[in-house]
Structure 1
């Protein structure tokens, strides 16, 4: 086995001036606004996708479908940007890795700073356009989780993942919690965390600083608590293996060969993981899910956890951590509202038809009423069973904090509100709108009195015997009248507001910050 190269020999990094800690400027108030407005935009965009898809299926519709699609995409992308930006303002920053609570279990994440952009991207937004066009599936909280967050969640059984931050950060990236240190103090920070870490996750690289960290890890002598992540750059891994492989007593395996499925459905930053036995024997595993197209947004999290199954078993730890945040009270309240809107009207109709059927059967001469009520009862009962089969599993997933189920519930509240407003406020008789008359409530009407001979009073041009100055001539016959329709529409507007408040109330409850944080904690 070749001897390890010295850090200065292989790094190619020129000597530079010492850097101070990062100057991070966060605004929690701005972060909360960004996060809230972003989720509002994502919800409206999801509702727009639904309306556009429905309009495409309706060949008689005259709605501008293209513009609805465009507006929905813009809202979704702008909302995703706002959520990600807002969460960076809200991301906790550690004062120091030395000052962490002594009884807290931690995972130390080591990597080259130049790899941060790949770790801070979210795989769920990669195919956002295609997914929106072909499936209509909305953007969820899982789609916005970065690769680094997914890795931290996958190994959460070992403890909270922490890292040193890039001194050039103006805002902490979305991922693990960071402490920022100057060039003169960062090594002491790493040693303090390394001495107590339950697990070390090291992203393969070949920089000078990473070489120093690898040496300290080997000196620690705990191979079973080390995991290497291998990226998609084969040459980069080979440089790492050539430069630093000699530090490992039994070397490092060759670059893994992924199959076609793993090439297409890949993460941004991790292709494989490597773990070690007690004698430093390495084992590599390419990340691959059983059905990788399902729950694609969390593919890295699930596949890393599955690939490290041996590490979890060996440490006597569960692969999944129970979420610590309790379920907010607004979640069952929102579920109750949605179930009431869907099931209560149908349940009332079911009971009513059953009552009419029983009364009709007990009343002499009411066989036809009983038969009609029986048919109605059967139909409505079937509708109730069908609605229950759809809504109950859906609400169960909302109860469990499923990101897609919660997102669909928010979008449904907006869509259902718009549907109610359109149904109640749009005239049902389109012919009446196109040809207003006095009988259909048109805005302008003309009075006309026709006799049996087909001549109209006051029209001397068609009636040869008519007298325009006779007693029957009515000067007001052609004066337009504009009936006042506002008193009639006020109850309808009130009913619209009342019915719309229920689904919008459910959306508002499920959009609250405590619900969003709870859903994130269960990812």
Structure 2
């Protein structure tokens, strides 16, 4: 018996291949054959099906007896604004075969299984971190309980009162070597606002980050107004250190950030007393 989501993922890949063949045989962008447009539609449908299959697999993983939420295995708590989720069709299509969150969860798996609060009302959990769900009255206690037991807490910088509460609790409850801030695809003005909030409320000055150059933004599918992505880790006295995610020219839409994220996180692995190993796209 195949695993949940496998059939949809395979169908999605088949549609992507079929759509690509139709597109190129029909002349692609060089011709005016309407079949070329149809080929693009088939490819996009394949990407959406593949993503849904990964969502079904994520739900099965969360529901399984072996889920990190029901076992004693080590965990990594992932905190973020729901705005960061790959929750719209446009974001799904832009993410390719693996989302940023899936790649982050894969890279951090040697430290622990990545877990996160799920968006209320979502029909399928997004692929990546194992989702747990809580009511408005419960979610803060759920976060605090998992924060206390997690091997590592990763907070993706962003907007929102809920995220800022999680940030405050992280600074208050965690030792510095257990907390990392992720800066990913963030506009310059949003990072400045986030850093100013941290400075004002915690008297902690986060590193100044420069915006991506125009050519890098084109190759990396990011706007030039976005700052360099990376992780901020902290020394024993809470002095921050920025660990940039290395820039890679080749972008294939599959595990593009897996290797670069892994390289950036080498000091974090070492601070956890774990051996670091280089990983590739596969």
Global fold match (TM > 0.5)? yes
Q: What is the DSSP-based 3-state SS (H/G/I as helix, E as strand, rest coil) of the residue aligned with 2:149?
A: coil
Deviation of 1:32 (Å): 5.1
Superposed CA RMSD in Å reads 3.5
Matching residue within 205, 210, 213 for 2:163: 210
Matching residue within 211, 220, 241 for 1:257: 211
Give the match for residue 264 of structure 2.
Answer: 307
Relative distance call for 1:252 and 1:119 in structure 2 (3 A) is farther
* Partners of 2:251 and 2:220 in 1: CA distance: 13
Relative distance call for 1:232 and 1:171 in structure 2 (3 A) is same
Write the deviation string for residues 412-459 of structure 1: whole angstroms up to 9, x where unpaired: xxxxxxxxxxxxxxxxxxxxxxxxxxxxxxxxxxxxxxxxxxxxxxxx
* Partners of 1:118 and 1:81 in 2: CA distance: 12
* Partners of 1:307 and 1:50 in 2: CA distance: 38
Matching residue within 100, 125, 128 for 2:70: 100
Relative distance call for 1:285 and 1:258 in structure 2 (3 A) is farther
Q: What is the DSSP-based 3-state SS (H/G/I as helix, E as strand, rest coil) of the residue aligned with 1:162?
A: strand
Greater share of strand = 2
Question: Gapped runs of 5+ residues in structure 1?
Answer: 1-27, 57-63, 127-141, 323-401, 403-521
Q: What is the DSSP-based 3-state SS (H/G/I as helix, E as strand, rest coil) of the residue aligned with 1:275?
A: strand
Deviation of 1:106 (Å): 0.8
Structure showing greater Rg:
1
Q: Say if 2:18 and 2:39, in contact at 8 Å, map to a contact too.
A: yes
Deviation of 1:162 (Å): 0.6
* Partners of 2:6 and 2:250 in 1: CA distance: 33
* Partners of 2:177 and 2:97 in 1: CA distance: 32
Q: What is the DSSP-based 3-state SS (H/G/I as helix, E as strand, rest coil) of the residue aligned with 1:75?
A: helix
Matching residue within 48, 65, 78 for 1:81: 48
Q: Say if 2:259 and 2:278, in contact at 8 Å, map to a contact too.
A: no
Q: Say if 2:79 and 2:116, in contact at 8 Å, map to a contact too.
A: yes
Relative distance call for 1:49 and 1:99 in structure 2 (3 A) is closer
Residues 202-351 of structure 1 correspond to what in structure 2 (within 5 A)? 202-230=155-183, 231-246=185-200, 248=202, 250-266=204-220, 271-289=229-247, 291-293=248-250, 295=252, 297-320=254-277
Write the deviation string for residues 56-102 of structure 1: whole angstroms up to 9, x where unpaired: 9xxxxxxx99355334323212211222123323322647x995312
Deviation of 1:45 (Å): 2.6
Relative distance call for 1:228 and 1:266 in structure 2 (3 A) is farther
| TM-score (norm. length: structure 2) | 0.79
* Partners of 1:248 and 1:82 in 2: CA distance: 44
Q: Say if 1:122 and 1:143, in contact at 8 Å, map to a contact too.
A: no
Deviation of 1:236 (Å): 2.0
Give the match for residue 117 of structure 2.
Answer: 164
Relative distance call for 1:100 and 1:192 in structure 2 (3 A) is farther
Deviation of 1:195 (Å): 0.9
* Partners of 1:244 and 1:284 in 2: CA distance: 15
Q: What is the DSSP-based 3-state SS (H/G/I as helix, E as strand, rest coil) of the residue aligned with 1:229?
A: strand
* Partners of 2:176 and 2:117 in 1: CA distance: 22
Question: Gapped runs of 5+ residues in structure 2?
Answer: none
Matching residue within 149, 170, 182 for 1:196: 149
**How many matched pairs?**
270
Q: Say if 2:86 and 2:126, in contact at 8 Å, map to a contact too.
A: no
* Partners of 2:242 and 2:174 in 1: CA distance: 20
Q: What is the DSSP-based 3-state SS (H/G/I as helix, E as strand, rest coil) of the residue aligned with 1:157?
A: coil
Deviation of 1:296 (Å): 5.6
* Partners of 1:121 and 1:222 in 2: CA distance: 38
Write the deviation string for residues 337-382 of structure 1: whole angstroms up to 9, x where unpaired: xxxxxxxxxxxxxxxxxxxxxxxxxxxxxxxxxxxxxxxxxxxxxx
Corresponding position: 1:114 with 2:114: no
Deviation of 1:267 (Å): 6.0
Relative distance call for 1:41 and 1:284 in structure 2 (3 A) is same
* Partners of 1:296 and 1:308 in 2: CA distance: 21
Q: What is the DSSP-based 3-state SS (H/G/I as helix, E as strand, rest coil) of the residue aligned with 1:145?
A: coil
Q: Say if 2:55 and 2:124, in contact at 8 Å, map to a contact too.
A: yes
Give the match for residue 91 of structure 1.
Answer: 58
* Partners of 1:43 and 1:285 in 2: CA distance: 37
Relative distance call for 1:276 and 1:152 in structure 2 (3 A) is same
Q: What is the DSSP-based 3-state SS (H/G/I as helix, E as strand, rest coil) of the residue aligned with 1:311?
A: helix
Deviation of 1:163 (Å): 0.1
Q: What is the DSSP-based 3-state SS (H/G/I as helix, E as strand, rest coil) of the residue aligned with 1:228?
A: strand
* Partners of 1:119 and 1:227 in 2: CA distance: 27
Deviation of 1:181 (Å): 0.5
* Partners of 1:215 and 1:207 in 2: CA distance: 12
Relative distance call for 1:177 and 1:119 in structure 2 (3 A) is farther
